[in-house]
Structure 1
Amino acid sequence: MNFAHGASVRIASALLAGLVLASPVRTVAEVSAVSAAESATPTLPPSMDGAPIALMIDLGSGRVLFSREADRRFMPASLTKLMTIYTAFEMLDDGTLQPEQRMPVRDETFREWSGKGSSMFVARGTSVGVDDLLRAIPTVSANDGCVVLAEGAAGSVAKFTDIMNAKAKELGMNDSHFNTPNGWPDEGRTYTSARDLATLAKALITKHPQKYRQYFGLPQFTWNDITQKNRNPILGVVEGADGLKTGFTNEAGYGFVGSAERDGRRLVMVIGGTQSGRERKAIARDFIAWGFDGWRAHQLYGMNQPVAKVAVQGGAERQIELKAERPVFVTVPEGSDPKAHVSVRYQGPALAPIAEGDRVANLVIETADGRKSSVPLVASETVGEANWWQRLRNGLFSLVT
């Protein structure tokens, strides 16, 4: 949706279980919960000393639980494949790609990528379905499958990486560039940051929840009578773990983007530059345990629960109801005061037309320790452009309100 150019940011109160009119309200209301003594940030596990790059975010509150060199650019290796999968998900949504579509294995592709690094072992002269490729890439990190998908979906690797970079720009991944669909070493032309990878993981999970559940978290994958296990170090070990992807090259070291969900609360973590697969495994498991055990999340709103109404300009309706796409939490260290101030911030009035699901505002959560985080609020309904009668009605209302 479009925001009014030059419009001021409006602040609205949002009560714990209530619905409020955002437009005229400029106070920030307090959300009360059981009070407890303030405590420091939970102590990190010792294994975290081995992670030069690390980031953890609670998606339910938007709070960054830990950050170390989150904006430092590094080579992502096979973590690149998350962008390949996201690009394919977007193409499926816009109809330029179909799950049943068959992608040919070109002779040149087979010669270059057969058994090169991690592989799904595609066969020369065959074709592979998009559905199979999307199961293989996150599960067995198929280098060959990425190239087959890129060539089949866009005509060439170069054209596909152009789409990857355009999608990354749309997501605001300003410290990322993709030169390959599989992360094979390319003299540093492919790079990213932990913050960008967390943004990408969030987009995979929240923009494409059904596809995320369908293609991530598979315990194994079989192709050409070869069965390989998922390399995810927390899958099947950590409660609620369901994604996302490991990465390794000699230049990049060992990296991992992981996620787990418990009782509606989802954490996303990124680690990079660890020295061995064994060390990465230990860090990943310790880090996610630290996130769940060292922090407490107090729910403010349920999924799809109304949060606020905001004014609409030029719309068939004068206001639109906003909701949270996911359960919304206040996240604080174990033993800390869970009281928080919340406010709805948006650039307004919002301009019609607005489609259901469009992001309209942010719910800003400020905890007792002064830390701020935010989660998006989306339109719970569609508001079309006003006809002549509705414009007249809106104008008359504006004179008396």
Structure 2
Amino acid sequence: MAFDTQARAAYVLDQSTGTVLLSKNAEEPLPPASMSKLMTLYVAFEAIRDGRLTLDERLPVSSHAMSYGGSTMFLDTQDKVRVEDLLRGIIVLSGNDACAVIAEALSPDGTEAGFARYMTRRAQQLGMEHSTFMNSNGWPQAGHRMSVQDLAILANHIITDFPEFYPLFAETEYEFDGRAPSNVNNRNPLLTMGIGADGLKTGHTQEAGYGLVGSARQGDRRVIFVVSGLNSERQRSEESAAIVNWSFRQFAEKTVAHANTPVAEAEVWMGREQSVGLVPAEDLVVLLPVLSDDNVEAEVVYRGPVEAPIQQGQELAELVIKPQDLPEIRRTLVAEHAVPKGGFGIKVRTAAEQLFKRFINGPSDAS
């Protein structure tokens, strides 16, 4: 069932259900090349949202930013460039120079290195535990590393946190000032394939190989995936398209439990009732392999008996679903209804039951 990828590292996430469909060397810190520009973009989006930067603001180009080679917007120190142009220059044209301009504008100390240190701290706050940045654009530099899992976490944050900016990642071309006619096309090969792809970023250096952080949407489902360490542009394109196809065709959403419908009961201690139904607060929709049978293994886990009083909707247990060839899925179960604390008669009955259990089981060993 697992996808046999040729990538050195790969990670595939079904965003709608949070299901990890594929994980290969997912936590290994690797050179991310231009895929790390997504972190620069995320920080820039935050600055715009917080009012520290505006889309119409014009930023100066330093000699350091101008010095970058590789993929650039061909900026020079005479330019003052609108932030919106810089963002498109990073997303569509993969401009190394544009990243440095943004970095120096937002850096705590005005340097790209200072911005890289900030990126590293911010990434850790977002749950990206295997990322260390040395620059803003992924230019080869010792210690500049990201895992494919971290890149997927970052892509998910961009899509979720900044829906107003995410459509920029689907732009297939961008002409800046007419000065770079050879660099106007988005390098993401999936955008024109008609498979629902709408982002995010390619990357390539000799050390990193060919990589891609991608996302595609079909119907109500969205898949986020990362591949790294492929051998050519063609292999990257074919592998990425195959992953998208596999993700949507080999898995389907299924409702395994309905809201407010008991899936089990929990024993109650000192309550007016001896048990309470355990229900999901909402329909439990999970992603399962299309060829799996309908009898999915699952178990209810809770610490009981649960002492009364119990409130309706109180979290009491977890439903652990174990689909074949996929990580287990945990979902919270809550009390179907309230159970008040029992009166004197309940206490007498409970005490009698405990005495009877001791009589049947015998005295416990003395220490």
Q: What's the TM-score once normalised by structure 1's chain length?
A: 0.67
Give the distance between the partners of 2:301 and 2:60, measured in 1 at CA: 49
**Equivalent position of 1:25 in the other structure:** none
Counterpart residue number, 1:280: 236
In structure 2, what is the equivalent of residue 14 of structure 1? none
Q: Distance in 2 between matches of 1:368 and 1:67?
A: 16
Structure 1: gaps spanning 5 or more residues: 1-40, 307-321, 346-362, 377-397
2:174 to 201, 214, 221: 221
d(CA) in 1 for partners of 2:252, 2:121:
37
> Cα RMSD (Å) of the superposition?
3.3
Q: 2:152 aligns with which of 186, 198, 209?
A: 198
Are positions 1:169 and 2:169 aligned together?
no
Q: How many residues align?
A: 297
Bigger relative CO (Cα 8 Å, ≥ 6 apart): 1
The answer to whether the Cα contact below 8 Å between 2:56 and 2:83 also exists between their aligned partners in 1 is yes
1:172 partner letter: G
The alpha-carbon deviation at position 218 of structure 1 amounts to 0.6
Higher CA-based Rg: 2
Q: Does 1:240 align with 2:210?
A: no
8 Å CA contact 2:251, 2:287 repeated in 1? yes
Matches within 5 A, 1:1-400: 41=1, 44=3, 48=5, 50-110=6-66, 112-113=67-68, 116-154=69-107, 155-187=110-142, 189-213=143-167, 215-225=168-178, 226-227=180-181, 228-298=184-254, 329-337=285-293, 366-369=321-324, 371-373=327-329
Structure 1 Cα separation of the partners of residues 185 and 299 of structure 2: 44
Q: Tell me the SS of whatever aligns to 1:335.
A: coil
Distance between the aligned counterparts of 1:275 and 1:100, measured in 2? 40
Question: Which has the larger strand fraction?
Answer: 1
- One-letter amino acid matched to 2:172: P
**Matched residue SS, 1:229:** coil
Give the drift of 1:253: 0.8
Structure 1's 230 and 342: CA in aligned 2 closer, same or farther, altered over 3 A? farther
Cα shift readout 1:186-234 (whole Å, capped 9, x = no counterpart): 12x1101111111111111111122112x21111011130341110021
TM superposition shift of 1:89: 1.2
Q: Letter of the 1:232 partner, please give it.
A: N
1:78–1:183 CA contact under 8 A, matched in 2: yes
Question: Would you say the 8 A contact 1:245–1:257 is kept in 2?
Answer: yes
Identity %: 36
Give me the whole-angstrom Cα distance separating, in 1, the residues matched to 2:163 and 2:331: 17
Cα distance in 1 for residues equivalent to 2:227 and 2:341: 56
> What is the deviation of 1:151?
1.1
Judge conservation of contact 1:338–1:367 (CA < 8 Å) in 2.
no
